[in-house]
Amino acid sequence: MSITGYARVSTADQDPASQVEALRAAGCDPIYIDHASGSTMERAQWAECNRSLGRGDTLVVVRIDRLGRSLVDLVDTLDNLHARGIQFRSLDEKIDTSTALGRMFYQLAGAFAEYERTLISERTRAGLDAARKAGRQIGRPPALTEEQKASARQLHAQGHSIAAIARVLGVSRATIRRTIAKMR
């Protein structure tokens, strides 16, 4: 059972020394340090740290925002750690998932993240509905115009291969197959 520390600073010119000192004082060994933005979970040292953690280990950060900025990312990370039997501690916020209070925080964070995902989904749906009402096409534009579709069907009826039709129209063979299938 190891106590693993994770420190992150956003830029290469920022110094993680104070985080490393606090993590060492909390008994962390090893300590992983990233010089990367918190806006993404795709960080080299985080990936290595996460791979090194096993059942019964504890991950420690100085502040919860060092792990990630988005509540959704934080909850997903905490869910993953929890499912693998790994405890989590944040020194500044006094969060410790091995305690009842820490587990309550974890559950509250999950509820807030679910609420945030619902709000984002509702805003997206409202935006799409407004765009449709305004007559804008949603999604990718069609690969072929109606005229091109008619030409593809006519060429196919004349015995031209799907590959040849696709080359002439500058689209994939799958597009031509779908166009012809809709004709039947």
Digitized pLDDT (tens) for each residue of the chain, 184 residues in all: 899 999 988 877 788 889 999 999 999 999 999 888 767 777 889 999 999 999 999 999 998 878 877 777 888 888 899 899 999 998 988 888 888 888 887 778 767 767 777 888 899 899 889 988 998 888 888 889 999 999 999 999 999 999 999 999 999 999 999 998 887 6
Buried b (16+ CB within 10 A) or exposed e, 27-57: ebeebbbbbbebeebebebbeebbeebeeeb
> Is 10 an annotated catalytic residue?
yes
Catalytic residue among 10, 37, 39, 172: 10
What pTM was estimated for this model as a whole? 0.61
**CA pair distance 8, 20, nearest whole angstrom:** 10
**Dist CA 147 CA 182 (whole Å):** 15
